[in-house]
Structure 1
Amino acid sequence: MVSGADDKRFTVAVRAVDGVVLLTLGGELDHDTAGPLKEALDAAAHRGGRLLVDMAGLRFCDSTGLNALLHGRLAVQEAGGSLELAGLTGPVARMFRITGADGVFPVHADVTQALGANQGR
């Protein structure tokens, strides 16, 4: 598990599930806490494959967090993989909807649905 400078504000946990790299985010993702996410995305991106970001535990995400995910998406694609999101809710879902970012990423209702989608691959 990698966590932010202030564990109460933001956490990111990384694990492999059914051949998918799963990043589970929690707390508030903003300018001050985005470093651990950027590091986790960089580490996972070079491997290619399927990367799933579980955002169900994320209470807040600003433009810095969105930017980190967009850059991560490009890096994963360059390595021949994909970056998908799951569990967008509340203000985080609203921010993705308003910016149109929910149309840039494959978005799943939750991790279970996303991993079920992996069965057909």
Structure 2
Amino acid sequence: MNITINVEEMDQYTKVYIGGELDVYTAPKLQETVFPHVKLNQTLIIDLTEVTYLDSTGLGIFVGLFKSLNAKNGTLQLVGLSGRLKRLFDITGLSGIMNIHSEVEGGV
């Protein structure tokens, strides 16, 4: 149950690189690291290329980020989703409301 999180702040956006397992045990670390970067009119790009596992707690973090950013007129973009992760977002209906790109370049 390991997770790596790296944050890169740019002028127009913040990019977060996540690796490992995102579950009930690692979600609090992600929340503590990422939510302080939710700013007015900001784009937050989350690169999930290295995520090997995602459960409902992890999905809940993304829903929370999406709501927080919308409230501040910002946007959330998820990039680098594997086929398995993309299916999770499709099944839950989140892919219909969130900006999701399989390719990493799609988010910038």
With structure 1 as the length reference, what TM-score do the two structures score? 0.80
Secondary structure class of the residue paired with 2:85: helix
RMSD, aligned α-carbons? 1.6
- Whether 1:39 and 2:4 are equivalent positions in the alignment is no
Structure 1 CA distance for aligned equivalents of residues 79 and 40 of structure 2: 20
Partner in structure 1 of residue 101 of structure 2: 108
Letter of the aligned partner of 1:85 in structure 2? L
Higher RCO (CA-CA < 8 Å; seq separation 6+): 2
Partner in structure 1 of residue 57 of structure 2: 64
Structure 2 CA distance for aligned equivalents of residues 65 and 87 of structure 1: 16
Deviation at 1:65, TM superposition (A): 0.3
User: Which one of the candidate residues 14, 24, 27 is aligned to 2:20?
Assistant: 27
Deviation at 1:47, TM superposition (A): 4.5
Please give the per-residue CA displacement for 1:72-108, whole angstroms capped at 9, x wherever unaligned: 1111111121111111113222211211111121112
Partner in structure 2 of residue 50 of structure 1: 43
Contact 1:47 1:79 in 2 (8 A): yes
Structure 1 CA distance for aligned equivalents of residues 31 and 41 of structure 2: 16
Aligned length: 108
Secondary structure class of the residue paired with 1:71: helix
- Whether 1:77 and 2:70 are equivalent positions in the alignment is yes
Deviation at 1:18, TM superposition (A): 5.9
Contact 1:54 1:110 in 2 (8 A): no
Secondary structure class of the residue paired with 1:32: coil
Letter of the aligned partner of 1:67 in structure 2? G
Structure 2 CA distance for aligned equivalents of residues 18 and 64 of structure 1: 30
Give me the identity figure in percent: 31
With structure 2 as the length reference, what TM-score do the two structures score? 0.89
